[in-house]
Amino acid sequence: MVQEINFDGIIGPSHNYAGLSFGNIASSTHAGQLSYPRQAALQGLAKMRHNINLGLAQGFFMPLDRPNSGWLNALGTGIDDAEAHIRAAAYSASSMWAANAATISPAPDSMDGKCHITPANLLSMPHRSHEWPDTMAQLKLAFANPDHFTVHAPVPPPFGDEGAANHMRLCTGHDGTGVEIFVYGKAGGPFPARQHVEASKAVVRKHGLPEDRVIFAEQSQQAIAAGAFHNDVVAVANERVLFAHEQAFAHRETFYAEVKQKFPQVEIITVPADKVSLADAIKSYLFNAQLITLPDNGGMALILPTEAKETAAVWSYLEQLVSGNGAIRKLYPVDVRQSMANGGGPACLRLRVVTDPKLVDPRFIATNKKLDIISGIIEKHWPETISPDQLVDDGLRKTVQNARRKLLEACSLLELQA
């Protein structure tokens, strides 16, 4: 049976606050602070359990090998000799934000009837630019069936691609044909736009998407300048619903008109700036929620960070929203504070794939029993805290690498060992 599967990135043992993500206000604000990798990973697992208990299909990806010695070697250095910013980039645990892992086009959308997957090159940020080879290895393992999946090489330089964080899909049901929306940027005051329109076009060509099922939309410069470094910080879609901030898109009315023309069933919910400011939307990650369809005709729900409930204007708007007769009926706040402090909410942590779970390598499919095993590994082997100045310690390197190996062993995924 075709389902939407949310693949969450397990938060790795090197999770730290080095402040590497220029344009990400939360990342910059918490730079240099003490991080809690064990707590972060357990918060991520709790969100997965929450989704499973709602009746949703749930998967996961392994954290990547850190520090990335191969990348350091290619730069002519090593972990002991690298400059501080390069060492921090080699230790980055940002692959936990699986929304940036790839762009997914489900089988009903493509002309050859296969699910197409393109890993994101993440060129705009050095600490993320070296993720894609190991990410692609996992994607090829999880989606190995060539009759149903095609995993492409990433878009080549110089065109930056940030994956599903700048991609939305509208459809009448998960197994129906969809319209895919590719959001790109140009500039945002002092902050760079991360998604290049040419990268989006390349993904469309690779995935074999017909022109009448594709929309390109420009993210507003105002949103990028305010700290919306990805579209999923200001907009989210699920089935027939597009939920977006009033200032999310550069040419909103033109974009909305094209959406209505290509997908007449759409319900567009625009959050007015005079109700929720861009600053409050970004601080609370209101739109970096998982907008999900509840089983058994339960309507739609938002899985939100607890910060949304703590932001008065946001929560007031949401309570009014769900009290009406619209598509979104329920709110589920979840605690992902460790991820939020580094700039990623509930939607950052997951990659949506629409397929039959039986077609996916079962090692990547979560159950409560499997999450119990993973939780035990994390509680025993993940560091309790990391400060950025610890990244020079050889003891931390050994702890981080041993922790990941224990997880790979427990999940029978040792072939991912570097």
Q: Which residues form the catalytic set? A: 162, 230, 348
- Residue keyed to tokens 């190995």: 144
Give residue 161's identity as a one-letter amino acid code.
Answer: D
Question: CA–CA separation, 92 vs 400, rounded Å?
Answer: 12
What Rg value do the Cα atoms of the chain yield, rounded?
Answer: 20
Instruction: Indicate if the alpha-carbon torsion angle 158, 163, 166, 170 is positive or negative.
Output: positive
Three-class secondary structure assignment of 334-401: ECCHHHHHCCCCCCCCEEEEEECHHHCCHHHECCHHHHHHHHHHHHHHCCCCECHHHHHCHHHHHHHH
Ramachandran angles phi, psi of 185, nearest 5°: -125, 165
Contacts of 118 (CB under 8 A, 6+ apart): 102, 103, 151, 152, 153, 154, 155, 161, 203, 206, 207
Structural contact between residues 307 and 343, judged by C-beta atoms closer than 8 angstroms: no
The string of DSSP codes covering 136-191 is HHHHHHHT--TTTEEEPPPPPTTS---GGGGEEEEESSTTS-EEEEEEE---BTTB
